[in-house]
Amino acid sequence: MPSHKVVGIIQARMGSSRFPGKTLYPVNGQPMLSWMLTRVAQARRLDHWLVATTDQVADEAIVSYCQDHRVPVFRGHELDVLDRYYRAARDAGAGVVVRLTADCPLIDPRVIDQVIETFQLGTSDYVSNVTPLPSSFPDGMDVEVFSMAALNRAWRDAVKPSDREHVTFYMWQHPETFQLYRVEHEPDWSRYRLTVDSPQDLEVIEAIMKAFSPQHLTTSMEELIAYLDQHEELRRRNHGIARDAGWQAAYQRDREMGF
């Protein structure tokens, strides 16, 4: 009998071309990963969650942090993130997988629940509020939910480097195979950045946390956006950073390898 266990898998590593070490970078007194884990734990629709990092020496710091704080952690391939997710989900007994990334320390647990609830209506293999772009949610509220069966098929069939590196590329680029659905937000808030890909992003996140402290652990997406609207200068600090820069680089590598 298929499992219905909903497992959140937080993708994390210390290597980053734009901001190395950002996963454990101190933000308002604690590692960025700590803030995200605290918010993810508030999602009502998650049965279990874990951190999926790599088997590289640099990521032993993430493993040590998770072990010290009793957070389940899985180690897998550095570049074949699809394989890492598949093995982590399989070992956790997942029936439904929720993909999250560690650079979203202000993710709203209510947004996580919203996307899971949409998936649980039972009409889709893959539900997301971010892909395919353009998303209408702020960058930093990214949630993807898919069945273990869909993950298994992608893991089995995907061959392009971009499909292996980005976990869900294969799913949402094959609508003939997977039933897809994207959750929209009205109004369109895609111009807001609440993620950390650069030092400028970190400045914005730290300023928001300090402004809402200590209540920032429960601050909603709506409250965060209202604050940015009231502080235009802060919002402009990280304005213009490309949302899909990593994806474009992956596509370029595909072309270089003849895919």
Output DSSP code: residue 193: B
CATH architecture observed for domain 6-256: Alpha-Beta Complex (3.90)
**CA–CA dist 87, 38 (Å, integer):** 24
Residue 243 confidence (pLDDT): 62
Residue linked to tokens 């993909």: 99
H or E stretch covering 11: strand 6-11
**CA–CA dist 61, 73 (Å, integer):** 12
* Nearest in space to 102 (alpha carbons), one of 11, 38, 27: 11
**CA–CA dist 59, 102 (Å, integer):** 13
Domain boundaries defined on the chain = 6-256
Residue 52 confidence (pLDDT): 98
Residue 123 confidence (pLDDT): 86
Confidence tier at 146 by pLDDT (50, 70, 90): very high
Residue positions counted in the chain: 259
For residues 7-24, give the mean pLDDT: 87
Q: State pLDDT tens for residues 225-257.
A: 999 999 999 999 988 777 665 555 555 555 555
Q: State pLDDT tens for residues 198-222.
A: 889 999 999 999 999 877 778 999 9
User: For residues 188 and 136, is the Cβ–Cβ distance under 8 A?
Assistant: yes
Bridge partners of 145?
A: 98, 127
Least-confidence region, from 35-44, 86-95, 110-119, 195-204 = 195-204
Residue 125: pLDDT over 60: yes
Higher pLDDT pick, 104 / 247 = 104
Residue 27: pLDDT over 80: yes
Burial class (CB within 10 angstroms; exposed 0-12, middle 13-18, buried 19+) of 61: middle
Q: In one letter, which amino acid is 127?
A: V
